[in-house]
Amino acid sequence: MRLQHFTKRYKAPGQVASAARHHAWLTEHARPLRLPALTVFRPTSLTYEWIDGRPARAEDLLTLAALLGDAHGAAWATDLRPASLNTPHRFQDGTAFGDYIGPRDIALRRRWEQGYLPNRSALHAMLGLLEKTAEGPTAFYKDSNPRNFIITEAGDIYTVDTDDLTLAPMGYDLAKLIATLVLTYGPLPASAIDGALLAYNEAAERHHAGLGTTDRRRLDDFLALHAVLTAPYIGRHGYLDIWVPQPRPRGSA
């Protein structure tokens, strides 16, 4: 059988080098994730092994949540234990991937300029929420939306589109997965979200007892941030014209 490939093209050589570095870093430090092999490196393109499968669906949430928790726990144990959420994470060659607050501060201000936040008070509230969530053990963020997971007929899960990594708190990327599953397939029952959070925490905690501490209130804070950050894509790129899950009232169980 002839092996198929997929070639992704970039505007600049620096983007190629960055994408290749992130692929190598995940391969080494987030080994629970299975990535397509990077087969050819050219000045303006990368060629990967082609994976035949389907994107993730809502019914895959529990499995994917456990996979993310395992990957985040492994990365913390092998490389991110000393990392700070507010400092870019440096590779041995001196290059880095982004910190947690900086890129999202810029993005939230842009959403206000674009009209996705009603006023400056709303912007300041979201910036305050961003600051509030910048605590706890450090994980990585790789934009876990359904299209970035390919599930083969045999049930193997591959993670794709790993060009851009940033640091993020534990649970932040799980919230992105939940938010984008809702935007793609419609609302999820609360029990499915709670079950995914439990699976994520249990998987992360296998690497260290302090990693499985994301609770539902914190997950809701992450969902609120993602609601604003993903607002420009609602009704586009395969996303439905709906909003992500709303946080529970503070007094609820």
Residues 154-202 have pLDDT tens digits of 999 999 999 999 999 999 999 999 999 999 999 999 999 999 999 999 9
Residue 9 makes CB contacts below 8 A (sequence gap 6+) with 44, 45
User: Which sequence spans correspond to the domains of the chain?
Assistant: 53-233
Single-letter amino acid code for the residue at 233: Y
Six token digits for residue 209 = 């007892």
Q: What is the CA radius of gyration of the chain?
A: 18
**How does pLDDT run across 145-158, given as a tens digit for each residue?**
999 999 999 999 99
Cα of first residue to Cα of last residue in the chain, in angstroms, is 54
Look at residue 33 and tell me whether its pLDDT is greater than 70.
yes
Residue 235 makes CB contacts below 8 A (sequence gap 6+) with 241
Count of CB atoms within 10 A of residue 118's CB?
A: 9
Q: What share of the chain is helix, strand, coil (3-state, %, to 5)?
A: 45, 15, 40
**How does pLDDT run across 49-84, given as a tens digit for each residue?**
999 999 999 999 999 999 999 999 999 999 999 999
* CA gap 72, 140 in Å, rounded: 7
What ranges make up the beta strands (E) of the chain? Answer: 5-9, 38-42, 45-49, 54-55, 89-90, 96-97, 138-141, 149-151, 157-159, 166-169
53-233 is classed in which CATH architecture?
Answer: Alpha-Beta Complex (3.90)
What's the Cα-to-Cα distance from 36 to each of 23, 50, 109, 126, 157, rounded to whole Å? 9, 7, 35, 36, 10
Task: Note the pTM of the prediction, 2 decimals.
Answer: 0.92
Six token digits for residue 114 = 């674009």
Average pLDDT, stretch 11-27? 93
What ranges make up the beta strands (E) of 134-232? Answer: 138-141, 149-151, 157-159, 166-169
**The pLDDT of residue 48:** 95
What's the Cα-to-Cα distance from 186 to each of 13, 32, 206, 242, rounded to whole Å? 39, 28, 32, 8
**The pLDDT of residue 3:** 60
